[in-house]
Amino acid sequence: MNLFKKRGFKTYCLEIVVLILTAFIYSLAFPGLLSNRGFGAIAFFALIPLFAVIRNTSWKAIPFYGLLFGFLFYSIFNYWLLTFHPLAILLVPIIKGAEMVLLFLALKAGERWFKRFGFLVEALVWIAYAYLSQSWFAGYPYGTLGYAAYEFLPFIQIAEFSGLWGVTFIMVLPQIFLGNFLADRLKGEKSSFLEEIKRYLPVVISYGAILIFVFTFGFIKMGIWSKTEPDLTWRVATVQHSADSWQGGYETYKRNFNNLRTMSLQALREDPDMIIWSETAFVPSVYWHTTYKTDEVTANLVDEFVAFGKSLPVPLLTGNPEGMLKDENAPPLKDNGDWNRKDYNTVIMFEGGEIKETYRKQHLVPFTEHFPYEKQMPWLYNLLLANDYNWWETGYDPVVFETAEGVKFSTPICFEDVYGYLTAGFVRNGADVIVNMTNDSWSGAVSAEMQHLAMAVFRSVETRKSTVRGTNSGMTAVILPTGKIVDPMEPFTKGWHIYDVPVYTAGKATLYTNHDDLVAQIVVYFTYALLAAGAVMQIVKVIRRRRERQ
């Protein structure tokens, strides 16, 4: 069989079809169009055709293939971005496609330059890409291979020392190996699969030993945690008011507050230790309207909300934007009619009749909450502003809240919990529970909320801390230190739920908590070194050939 031995127009067309199908099938591994939970098992083999194409295709096709695959996969996987804004469903796939141009070039280099053991280099390239693609300004961890395994709990327990990266490596390595094997068969190679296994026997045995360790470790850890008693149980009431994210104005804020207040008072009958609302559950800024009184009607609503928070017999945790003077030497309203104001996306806690603590969001959503290239790309900056995007200020303090009962917790806001380094930082700073305050209701899709929940699973395993998710419309749930999701509320419905959250304060911090993404960072630099060495070897070969011809 030599379909790919002689390259021509039909060959390239066939490869494009394979990439299109692969992008679609790979997207099904995650919560998405066909399943709100996703078909996670698909992630263990979906990329085999992709690596076969990369091995067999030409260098000149690689950049286009990377752009095509990245654009298609993220267009399908993140279809719900269309609900947010038509610009978003174009911007994200274009950025991810551009990233994958570099990824595909590096994969091709690893495969071509390192010959027999190129598949090992490709696996390292994949991990390096997965880390780097979430580490720059527009970093976006959604769609990372390992997250598709969120329901395979014994398999992902190694995240406590390897993070997401070890899980992803174990999933991608055999797919590269099998993709290369498939590519060689398509080119006419006749060696059997058994012969190929014998050829790489040390690698196969090592991989098998790693798999045995992973599952043995996973089952043992889950058994240990099932028998571990928490140091205390924290009884929290989560209130899900399921409001429309796009509606604003006094009447909307008043209605939402009334709903939140009513359900909170109902939940109090169950004797919770804390009431948790969601990100920006109460929109008018408490600080701004109690300090400057620029709008009397809204200020009265804020006073009513503050009085309610202070009157509760238990702490209240809620999202609330923090408006402050941008120029402290100028009045709130400038002479030209513009507001002299800057805003933080924050969480505040009421306890004991006062606002006890505030946390400001540290990792802002690129393009919609933060864009640092106003001077370098004014055309894009102005385009974003013209499409109703507004900027938040960046917080820098990994705040740990502490209740009077001694529960220490931190509150990653929105999608902050998709970044492992942030959660690890909170735990290093003393947090014993993670409380994710988020509002995914704008997506209009349960699958979008489930994609977020799937990533949050890894944060609990990495740090061995329970996670409480306080959301506007889903997925409100508790995640145990094993990654098990406990009793999620029905999404896109109003209601409240009581969770008895196990709190673990004793024991040593996990390796990931202490060193977060160190494994991925080592892989990145090692991959750089390998590719640089490979490039040097290729240059030396070219020089030798030229000398031989002379």
Show which residues are catalytic.
279, 361, 414
How many CA atoms, within 13 angstroms, populate the side-chain half-sphere of residue 62? Answer: 21
- Is the distance from CB of 287 to CB of 306 less than 8 angstroms? no
Q: Which of 27, 25, 31 is CA-nearest to residue 448? A: 31
Q: What DSSP string describes 488-523?
A: PPPTT--EEEEEEEEE---SPPPHHHHHTTHHHHHH
- Classify burial at 182, counting beta carbons within 10 Å of its beta carbon; exposed 0-12, middle 13-18, buried 19 or more: middle
Query: What is d(CA 22, CA 221) in angstroms, rounded to the nearest whole number?
Result: 34
| Alpha-helix runs per DSSP H in 133-285 | 153-156, 159-186, 193-199, 201-227, 250-267
Beta carbons of 367 and 138 less than 8 angstroms apart? yes
Give CA–CA dist 244/251, Å, rounded: 13
Instruction: For residue 354, report the phi and psi dihedrals to the nearest 5 degrees.
Output: -150, 165
Two structure tokens written together for 45: 């083999």
Owner of token pair 């106003």: 374
Residue 274's nearest CA partner among 111, 124, 498 is 498
484 backbone dihedrals φ, ψ, rounded to 5°: -70, 130
Token look-up 């011809």 returns 549
Distance CA 500, CA 341 (A): 40
Residue 255: partners with Cβ closer than 8 Å, 6 or more residues away? none
CA of residue 550 relative to chain centroid, distance: 55
Rounded Cα distance between 6 and 330, Å, is 72
